[in-house]
Amino acid sequence: MMTMAIMAVACVTCFTSCKDDPVPEPIPQPQPQPQPQPQPNPNPNPNPNPGGEAKSIKLDRTELTLKVGERAVIKAEVEPSNASVKIVSWKSSNENVATVTNGGEVLGKGPGKATLTASCGSARATCQVTVKNEQQALAPIQVQMTGAINHTQYTAGQSATITFNRFPASVEEFKQVREQIGREPQGAVALQIMAFEMFRRDRNVGAECIKLNNVQSNVGFVTGRLKELFGGDSNYNRPYQMAAYLKGAAPANGYNPEKPYTIEVIVDPATPYQASSIFQTTVLKLRVKSKGRSTGSDLVSVMKTKKPGEPGEKGTYFIVQSSTGLVSQVAPISFDYDFNGLE
């Protein structure tokens, strides 16, 4: 009897204990992590070398005869037309006989023969030049100015023009022109355009003229930019850059201007003259007209200063402080016309 009682109590205890135990939580199963979808790798430099390197250079002439002082242009065409690099550089075997710019413009320097070599990568082409012992006759340079621009008092609406029959051919001629127009602000603008065109034709002569017409801090900048503008890259090269500032020249007509050449200068209608403590003078803000610009003109800052070390003969002549627009690419030429060069 005692045994049965003990078993009954044990059963009740077991039932109660089992009833109170919580139902075990199911063990969570790890869920698969979403995998990123593979994405196509972008090509940072698609088709970087579309036409490969230049294979050859085709010249429009392989022989050339000039007089001393005479100029001619050799046109170079890189093949294939879609070559990745189309920058043509030129070299003369004898610069005492003939010089050549990277735009292919040749100048007869002295009697004799020279070989001009055009290079693009490993491609080469040559032109044989003979310079005769005859001097190319140049018409006397003639320069005129009309209109007036106040030197010290800002007056919106003032304008002036400079008209001339040809560009100076030497540093001495440049100085002669400066003597005629350099005492006027518009004259400094015209001299800047002349000096830049002279640099295109002859680096050494042009560089000397640029030094005569610019503050020292501007010389290195403009000459560096001009080397790029007058380089051999067919897409970047702008042999007609300075022609764009001559009346009548436009992209649509090959930048071939009216003759005699005319440069049109106006007082900047939006920027008054400014005092400069560095140069102890007044800086004039002028604009030179151009159909190579969507704005119709470019800014040129000029002044007279007596600051030691600066050109201008102690304030006798106006010089250029800044002319960034003149060394920035003008609109490209129309494919329907050729640029015929400037006299």
> In the prediction, which pLDDT does 6 show?
44
For residue 78, give the nearest of 115, 119, 33, 46 by alpha carbon: 119
For residue 210, give the nearest of 185, 227, 192 by alpha carbon: 192
Give the tokens for residue 163: 């008209």
Angle between helices 203-213 and 185-201 (to 10 degrees): 160
Give the pLDDT band of residue 3 (cuts 50, 70, 90).
very low
The identity of residue 207, as a single letter, is A
Contact indicator for 233, 120 with CB cutoff of 8 Å = no
Give the pLDDT band of residue 253 (cuts 50, 70, 90).
very high
Contact indicator for 339, 253 with CB cutoff of 8 Å = no
Q: What does the DSSP assignment read for 121-168?
A: TTEEEEEEEEEEEEEPP-PPP-EEEEE---SSS--TT-EEEEEESS--
The predicted-structure confidence for 104-154, as pLDDT tens digits, reads as follows 889 899 999 999 999 988 899 999 999 998 888 889 999 999 999 999 999
Give the pLDDT band of residue 328 (cuts 50, 70, 90).
very high
- How far apart CA 149 and CA 128 sit, in angstroms, is 50
Helix, strand, or coil here: 49? coil
- How far apart CA 288 and CA 278 sit, in angstroms, is 25
Give the tokens for residue 182: 């350099």
> In the prediction, which pLDDT does 27 show?
57
- How far apart CA 246 and CA 16 sit, in angstroms, is 112
> In the prediction, which pLDDT does 101 show?
82
Domains of the chain: 56-135 (2.60.40.1080), 143-327 (no CATH)
Per-residue pLDDT averaged across 19-30, rounded? 54
- How far apart CA 94 and CA 131 sit, in angstroms, is 11
Give the tokens for residue 150: 């106040």
Angle between helices 171-181 and 185-201 (to 10 degrees): 170
From 78-82, 253-257, 325-329, the region with the lowest mean pLDDT: 78-82
**Does the structure show a pLDDT above 70 at 331?**
yes
From 35-39, 93-97, 101-105, 233-237, the region with the lowest mean pLDDT: 35-39
Pairing outcome for strands 76-79 and 71-73? unpaired
Contact partners, residue 122, CB within 8 Å, separation at least 6: 53, 54
Bigger pLDDT: 85 or 185?
A: 185
Per-residue pLDDT averaged across 48-67, rounded? 84
From 47-51, 64-68, 187-191, 321-325, the region with the lowest mean pLDDT: 47-51
For residue 264, give the nearest of 171, 150, 156, 147 by alpha carbon: 147
> In the prediction, which pLDDT does 14 show?
42
**Does the structure show a pLDDT above 80 at 247?**
yes
Give 116's strand partners. Answer: 92, 127
> In the prediction, which pLDDT does 173 show?
98
